């Protein structure tokens, strides 16, 4: 059966009925039923013959097969036993697809090692291979998946995904807006981020309660190379946004309370261009980065560890 017919609402409902299944809300099962949008997602991911593509949420495998036709290899992960079995039949013919039946995440902060192993093996098979994410993500785990991918052993050259519109807006938000958050800063410090298309609930079955968007994050090596300690930077951003409306000074005094005196915190803040009334939500990514480096240097000068305790 052609891919177009396979992802229509009548086909999906019939297949679910045949095997006595209902879409599972807990697993964020909302299938894209508009073939044009599946194609737009695949096209935006810009997949080529040297690419190893990770897809999280195989579903019935419709995006998977499209990716498999363009990529060197596709690694696709599905948590649901029934969908995994259904997709296996659909994807049998593609020799470059590795299907994993499991939770893609080990916990909120880490991918499952099987997923990392599969990516590592595929990348090592040929020189010049690039790693990309392309997925209609399960919305309950979209944030950890995107966030962890930017700090995992294999750096993706791009990430293209459907996610909740609200999350997409947080990712691309600018300072002084309500959506500007630690996620905005973390993603934008490593990637150029854009919303490719806003999607209404009607393009999915079943319809999600919220609007969605296709997002494209283009990872920039030059940005990554300018960050000397990625884990410290990631943690710094999270800590600074715990209390985004408080004065930065109060947040910093509390964050470094076991390591720096108030006087030392003021000394570091005094080297920056913004005044004492600044709040995290007003600072640009580069202002926050300069601040994080000034604090890191202070910790190093004092011979202290740069880890944060949460
Ligand atoms: N790609 C398909 C399905 C998207 S729906 C399509 O576009 O139609 C999201 C899929 O992710 C569901 O199949 C769901 O079972 C799966 N899923 C949910 N949580 C997961 C997790 N933690 N790890 C892997 N797959 C997951």
pLDDT of 3: 66
- Residue by residue, DSSP assigns 159-215 as EEEEEEHHHHHHHH--TTSTT--HHHHHHHTTEEEEEEEEE-GGGEESPPSS-EEEE
Residue of the nearest CA to atom 8 in ligand 1? Answer: 31
Cβ of 83 closer than 6 Å to ligand 1, yes or no, is yes
Structure tokens belonging to residue 108: 């909120």
pLDDT of 292: 97
Ligand 1, residues 42, 75, 79: which to mutate, most atoms within 8 A of Cβ? Answer: 79
pLDDT of 72: 98
Separate counts of helices (H) and strands (E) for the chain: 14, 11
pLDDT of 7: 73
Structure tokens belonging to residue 19: 């095997």
Contact in structure between 176 and 163 (CB atoms under 8 Å): no
Cβ of 56 closer than 6 Å to ligand 1, yes or no, is yes
Cβ of 74 closer than 6 Å to ligand 1, yes or no, is no
The class that CATH gives domain 3-225 is: alpha beta
Residue of the nearest CA to atom 2 in ligand 1? Answer: 59
pLDDT of 282: 95
pLDDT of 303: 97
Shortest CA distance to 55 belongs to which of 164, 125, 149, 127? 149
* 51: three-class secondary structure by DSSP: strand
Q: Is 111 exposed, middle or buried (0-12, 13-18, 19+ CB in 10 A)?
A: buried
Centroid of ligand 1 to alpha carbon of 101 (angstroms): 11
Domain ranges within the chain, ordered by starting residue = 3-225, 230-301
Cβ of 208 closer than 6 Å to ligand 1, yes or no, is no
Cβ of 171 closer than 6 Å to ligand 1, yes or no, is no
Centroid of ligand 1 to alpha carbon of 12 (angstroms): 14
Structure tokens belonging to residue 7: 């992802």
Domain 230-301, CATH among 3.40.720.10, 2.40.110.10, 1.10.8.100, 3.30.1490.20: 1.10.8.100
Place of tokens 């950890």: 144
Give dist(CA 31, CA 41) in Å, integer: 13
Give dist(CA 170, CA 167) in Å, integer: 5
- Residue by residue, DSSP assigns 73-114 as EEEEEE--HHHHHHHHHHHTT-TTEEEEES-SEEETTEE-HH
Residue of the nearest CA to atom 10 in ligand 1? Answer: 57
Taking the chain (310 residues) in consecutive chunks of 10 residues, what is each chunk's mean pLDDT?
Answer: 72 87 88 95 98 97 96 98 94 97 95 98 97 97 95 94 98 97 97 98 95 98 96 94 89 95 96 90 96 97 89
pLDDT of 1: 59
Cβ of 105 closer than 6 Å to ligand 1, yes or no, is yes
Q: Is 63 exposed, middle or buried (0-12, 13-18, 19+ CB in 10 A)?
A: buried
């Amino acid at each position: 059966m052609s891919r177009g017919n396979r992802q229509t609402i009548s086909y999906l409902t019939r297949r679910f009925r045949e095997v006595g299944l209902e879409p599972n809300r807990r697993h964020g099962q909302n299938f894209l039923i508009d073939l044009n949008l599946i194609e737009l997602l695949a096209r935006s991911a810009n997949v080529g013959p040297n690419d190893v593509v990770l897809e999280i949420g195989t579903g019935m495998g419709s995006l998977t097969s499209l990716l498999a036709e363009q990529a060197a290899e596709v690694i696709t992960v599905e948590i649901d036993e029934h969908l995994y079995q259904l997709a296996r039949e659909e994807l049998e013919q593609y020799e470059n697809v590795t299907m994993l039946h499991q939770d893609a995440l080990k916990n909120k902060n880490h991918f499952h090692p099987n997923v990392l192993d599969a990516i590592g093996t595929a990348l090592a098979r040929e020189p010049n291979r690039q790693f990309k994410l392309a997925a209609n993500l399960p919305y309950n785990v979209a944030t950890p998946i995107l966030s962890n991918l930017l700090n995992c052993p294999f750096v993706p050259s791009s990430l293209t995904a459907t996610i909740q519109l609200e999350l997409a807006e947080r990712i691309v938000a600018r300072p002084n807006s309500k959506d500007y958050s630690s996620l905005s800063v973390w993603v934008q410090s490593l990637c150029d981020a854009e919303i490719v298309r806003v999607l209404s609930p009607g393009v999915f079955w079943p319809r999600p309660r919220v609007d969605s968007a296709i997002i494209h994050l283009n990872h920039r090596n030059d940005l990554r190379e300018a960050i000397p300690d990625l884990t410290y930077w990631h943690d710094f951003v999270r800590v600074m946004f715990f209390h985004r409306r408080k004065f930065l000074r109060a947040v910093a005094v509390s964050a470094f309370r076991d390591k720096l005196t108030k006087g030392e915190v003021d000394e570091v803040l005094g080297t920056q261009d913004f005044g004492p009334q600044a709040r995290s939500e007003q600072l640009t990514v580069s202002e926050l980065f300069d601040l994080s480096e000034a604090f890191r240097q202070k910790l190093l000068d004092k011979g202290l560890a740069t880890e944060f305790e949460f």
